[in-house]
């Protein structure tokens, strides 16, 4: 039978050695786990930085494209409308030639249902919209771009979208067409709104916004280079 008293020191030493080895093993394991987590985290951040840089590059490109569009084409809407015409009289003229006049009762009934029409004498409007593909209606999935810059980019795109909304409404209108008097009032309101929004967009400093975007791209590039160096050392 093993005499524990005789080998007490050896047994205690063995237990302490095993415990110490376990602590070292646990420490090494925790260190490796921490490094692995740090490596994975850095890789994810590097990916997000690359996506953010690509987003800024698209925004910069679209600003350039919109600047060229505004310089090459006049986005101002100019229109001239004729006097309202009674639709009943317009319809009656051909009928009168055939000897078939519209009666007073018919005239009253038609007057309740038919609006006057307005001829479009002149109409000049843009036939293409500005570019807004980089930024949808919601905030983009970015995590490293300066928030103040994001707000400025968002405001820029909101201004562009406001111009585009009215451009779309003018696509089916042209010189020589006729519209109802009620709709002509709506079109006139849209024209005033469009030209006002266009003027506000033109007042924005495209160059200043582009310079901020370029500086942010440089900051992200430095941030990415430093993170790559750290990741390689892990």
Residue by residue, DSSP assigns 109-170 as HHHHH---EEEEEEEE--SSPPP--SS-SS--S-SSS-HHHHHHHHHHHHHHHHHHHHHHHT
In a domain, 111, yes or no: yes
In a domain, 127, yes or no: yes
Tens digits of per-residue pLDDT, 32-77? 545 565 667 778 888 889 999 999 999 999 999 999 999 999 999 9
The pLDDT value recorded for residue 43 is 83
Give the burial class of 118: count Cβ atoms within 10 A of its Cβ; 0-12 exposed, 13-18 middle, 19 or more buried.
buried
Element holding 29 (H helix, E strand): helix 8-72
In a domain, 52, yes or no: yes
Tens digits of per-residue pLDDT, 86-107? 765 655 555 445 555 655 555 5
- How distant, in Å, are the alpha carbons of 17, 95, 96 from that of 88? 109, 11, 12
Distance CA(124)–CA(72), nearest Å, equals 15
In a domain, 13, yes or no: yes
The pLDDT value recorded for residue 29 is 53
Query: In which domain, by residue range, is 181 found?
Result: 8-233
Tokens at 136, concatenated: 């949808």
In a domain, 86, yes or no: yes
In a domain, 1, yes or no: no
The pLDDT value recorded for residue 230 is 73
Domain count of the chain? 1
In a domain, 112, yes or no: yes
**At what angle are helices 87-97 and 104-113 packed, to 10 degrees?**
140
Low-confidence ranges of the chain (pLDDT < 70): 1-39, 87-114, 137-140, 231-234
The pLDDT value recorded for residue 204 is 85
The pLDDT value recorded for residue 189 is 96
The pLDDT value recorded for residue 229 is 80
In a domain, 90, yes or no: yes
């Amino acid at each position: 039978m093993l005499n524990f008293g005789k080998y007490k020191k050896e047994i205690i030493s063995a237990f302490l050695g095993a415990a110490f080895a376990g602590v070292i093993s646990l420490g090494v394991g925790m260190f490796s786990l921490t490094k692995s987590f740090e490596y994975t985290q850095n890789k994810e951040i590097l990916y997000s930085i690359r996506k953010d840089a690509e987003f800024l590059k698209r925004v910069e490109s679209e600003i350039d494209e919109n600047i060229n569009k505004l310089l090459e084409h006049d986005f101002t809407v100019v229109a001239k409308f004729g006097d309202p015409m009674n639709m009943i009289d317009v319809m009656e003229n051909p009928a009168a030639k055939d000897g078939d006049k519209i009666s007073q009762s018919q005239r009253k009934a038609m007057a309740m249902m038919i609006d006057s029409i307005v001829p479009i004498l002149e109409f000049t409007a843009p036939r293409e919209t500005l570019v807004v593909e980089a930024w949808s209606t919601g905030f983009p999935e970015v995590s490293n771009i300066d928030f103040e810059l994001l707000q400025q980019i968002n405001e820029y795109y909101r201004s562009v979208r406001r111009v585009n909304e009215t451009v779309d409404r003018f696509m089916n209108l042209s010189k020589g067409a006729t519209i109802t008097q009620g709709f002509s009032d709506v079109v006139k309101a849209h024209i005033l709104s469009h030209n006002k929004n266009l003027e506000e967009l033109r007042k924005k400093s495209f160059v200043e916004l582009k310079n901020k975007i370029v500086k942010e791209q440089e900051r992200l590039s430095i941030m990415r280079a430093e993170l790559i160096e750290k990741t390689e050392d892990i």
